[in-house]
Structures are given as C-alpha cells and as structure tokens.
A = this chain, B = another copy of it.
Amino acid sequence: MSKQHTLIMPLDMHLHLRDGVMLETVAPLTSYTFSGAVIMPNLVPPVTSKEAVIAYKERILSACGYEMQENDFMDEDGLGGGDFEPLMTLFYQNYDEGFIEEIQDEIFAIKLYPAGITTNSEGGVKSFDIETMRPTLEAMERLHIPLLVHGETDGFVMDREAEFMSIYELLAGNFPDLKIVMEHITTKAAVDMLDKYANLYATITIHHLLITLDDVAGGMMKPHLFCKPIAKRPEDREALLKIALNAHPKVMFGSDSAPHPQDKKEACGCAAGVFTAPIALQLLCELFDDHGKLNNLQSFVSDNAQSIYGICPEFKEVTLVKEAFKVPEKYGNVVPMYSGETIAWSIEDVL
C-alpha cells in the first residue's frame, strides 16, 4: 500500500482569488482542500470599505458553493461559515481609527502594498513615513489587527526584498505590539529578520521553496514561474527551505497562488503570478517527504498559523497518498505551475 499522510485543517495564509469568472474558476480549487485562506484585497478597485469586504466575501463563498448566512460569516472564534473560511483583508491605506473600529469584525488583517509594486497595487503606500502611518498602525495595534506586508522596494529586482528590511525594522521597532507578517519571503535577508523582532512573522510559498531565478530564466524563460517577488538565488532558497522544513514557529504556508488568464502570461508583457492552489498540498507533501520532514508539515501548513493568529479553523482532514498525480494542463484558462508534469503525491480523500 502506498505511503499516506493526513493533514488536519490546512490553511493557505496568502491567496489571490481575483473576481468574476476567474473567482468562480479558482475559489473551489482552494476550498476543496483548505479550511481557510487569507484573501488578498488587490482587486480593481482595491478592497477599502466595509461594504466591499462583505460583498467580496459573499462572492467568494458563493463561488465555493456555500451560502453565506447573515451574521454568521465571522464566528465567535474568528472563523466560520461552512468548511472553508475566507479570511478577509482590507487594502492598507492611512485609515482613521473610527473606520478601523467599525470594520474590525469583518476583517482578519490589513494588507499593505507599496504603491505600484505588484499586480493592482497602484493605490498602495507611496512613502513609508512612520508619523503619517502612526494613527492607523496604532489603531491596528490596539485592536489586534495584524499587518500583512508585501515587502519590496522599487529598486533592482534582485535587491527589492533585501532593501525593504529597513522598513520592516522601522515598523517592527515602532509598533512592538503590532503583529507584522512578512508575506511570501524569498531571501535569506528576510529569514534572518525573523529572530530579530518578536512581532515579525512570515509566510512562504511552495514555489519559492522549489525554484530559483534559474528556473524562471536560466534555461528557457518560463512565464508561468514568473512572480513578484521574483525567485532569488540558490542560497536564498536554502535559507527558506531550512525554516520551512523545520517548521520554524514564526513561519506559515501561504501559497500566493495568483491566477492570470493564459493570454496574459504567454505574451509580450507577462503578468506576475504563479498558480499553485490546486497542487500546493501535493507539492508540499512531496517536498517534505523528500527531505524526511513530513512530520513537520502539519505545523507549517496549519498549526503555526493557528498559534500565531489565535484562530481555530473549521474541521477538515485531507489525506494524501504517495501516488503519481499528473498536473492538468490548465484549470479553466489558467495554466498552473508544473502544467502537464507529474507530482509524486496525490489527494486521496478530503473529510
């Protein structure tokens, strides 16, 4: 009998679901195997109001095939609404305290983008002036709302994340009670920050654990592996692998799965984003198994996030089996990572 491994309540702590037809295509692929996912707010226009948060959550649940029950979308435990919970985020702007108080029950976190740094981030932060940001960040601190950060400067592409470390230091040092998550980290520089500030955490994608810039542009150029932050150097990947495989308690899985239609990827100007949602757990099993670290995967893919955020996801049990899974060429019009290739692990059962 093939080797099996069961994951309890997997969580994707960084996910792009987009909207409209794309949302309908990709949301069920995540809700099938994950108990919850942190939903990115970089729609067009970005999610910046209570009404927009609630309406987007309704559209997500509807796309997943769930009906949202009035007043039931955020349970007492901070989760709820069926067996998949979209953990909603608000697009960071300098909001006043009253607004944040009013919206706090509808959101899980606030997501900060530097202006123009990635897909649909034009309305993000133009200048990291701490005094301008202080009222918002102090309100978040007081209300225990985490700050999730896309940490890149507008510098040279291979240096952007490392250059952003000084901004993480500024934020973490000035707001010691604010929970700050360095999203989708890709560098040794970011890994090294984790043990420097008690209030700094991180998510890591599956693709940044598997690839370097060599895979994106070392042989043929691979648009479906192009994302922001871009995959970095081998020594960066090694540093990420070390903390992920050992389930460093401040690190969580966040796929940053980011679907684009095929014609926006295979084009003169290819949009940034790797689509991994439906293959993430299989790839994680394969990776952790190959390194003899399968026993640490539960922490990386769920337990750490539960501890860090103090959340109790709806029950879900996903059993994977070490049997070959051929990745579909496409999901709708979205080409996934490893399209048409084979992964050593498959989803066996979801309870």
Q: Which residues of A contact B (CB under 8 A)?
A: 156-158, 212-214, 216-224, 226, 230, 233-234, 266-272, 335, 339
Contacts and interface: CB of A to CB of B under 8 A. Distances in A.
A157 B155 CA distance: 20
Contacts of A158: 158, 213, 233
A218 B212 CA distance: 15
A339 B269 CA distance: 12
Copies of the chain in the assembly? 2
A314 B128 CA distance: 60
Nearest to A329: B268
A16 B266 CA distance: 24
Contacts of A224: 268
29 contacts: A156-B214, A156-B218, A156-B233, A156-B234, A157-B213, A157-B214, A157-B217, A158-B158, A158-B213, A216-B217, A217-B217, A217-B226, A220-B269, A220-B270, A220-B271, A220-B272, A221-B221, A221-B223, A221-B226, A221-B270, A221-B272, A222-B268, A222-B269, A223-B268, A223-B270, A266-B266, A266-B267, A266-B268, A268-B339
Given A222-B268, A267-B266, A230 B217 contact: yes
For the complex of A and B, the 7 pairs showing the least CB-CB separation, nearest first, are A220-B269, A221-B270, A157-B218, A221-B226, A157-B214, A266-B266, A157-B213
A187 to B, nearest CB: 14
> Taking each of A220, A268, A270, A272, which has the highest tally of chain B beta carbons within 10 Å of its own beta carbon?
A268
Nearest to A235: B156
Contacts of A216: 217
A269 B156 contact: no
Contacts of A234: 156
A339 B268 CA distance: 10
A221 B158 CA distance: 14
A259 to B, nearest CB: 16
Contacts of A233: 156, 158
